[in-house]
Structure 1
């Protein structure tokens, strides 16, 4: 088992908790059309938190639960910082969890607290 899996699972939970705390957790699924975008982060059909909730978290959940091979790298934080550039302080904890996911997937050391 990849030793990063438990830490990734923890970060996935933190991302969900932060989305909920920020009022960004949606109760209804976007349309099939919106979810099937071929653009990175579904930027043409979803706002970033929708992509996190409906695309990223479910895919990562499957990887974690089935102990699948992790992607070779991750670069989600720059997109998150761009999406939330007007309210970086408000979403700091969310950005921290996303940054930790990037570090873990890319094989980096766990960030200091």
Structure 2
């Protein structure tokens, strides 16, 4: 059940990124994807981290039936990064719901 609910949230994140024209057709350079900083904030905008690191990793965990993260806090970062962009509110809400789902709240 948790996998199914998580998948719904992942699809909602993808749909929101596309709706906001934040979805990229071009994959970042391998060095940018190899960042060890939280959210790869030193090499990628948050939307690219979501698209090219977070979403693929979550899909991999789900498809291989691996444990999902239980301590997750993406929404606060999104709120900080997109504080001045009212149009991202729906995306932030989806991220808040995913944080709550995986955090067991």
TM-score by length of 2: 0.96
The runs of 5 or more residues in structure 1 that have no matched partner are 109-113
Task: Please state how far the C-alpha of 1:64 moved relative to its aligned partner.
Answer: 1.6
Matched position secondary structure for 1:44: coil
Residue correspondences, number = 105
Superposed, 1:85-104 pairs within 5 Å as 85-87=83-85, 89-104=86-101
**Mapped partners of 1:68, 1:46: distance in 2:** 26
TM-score, structure 1 normalization: 0.89
Q: Given the alignment of the two structures, is residue 73 of structure 1 paired with residue 82 of structure 2, yes or no?
A: no
Structure number with higher helix proportion? 2
- Please list every run of 5 or more consecutive structure 2 residues that lacks an aligned counterpart in the other structure: none
* Segments of 4+ moved more than 6 angstroms: none
Aligned partner of 1:52 among 24, 29, 50: 50
* Equivalent position of 1:29 in the other structure: 27
List per-residue Cα deviations over 1:33-90 (Å, max 9, x = no partner). 1000111000000000000000000001111222211112101110010110111x21
CA RMSD of aligned residues (A): 0.8
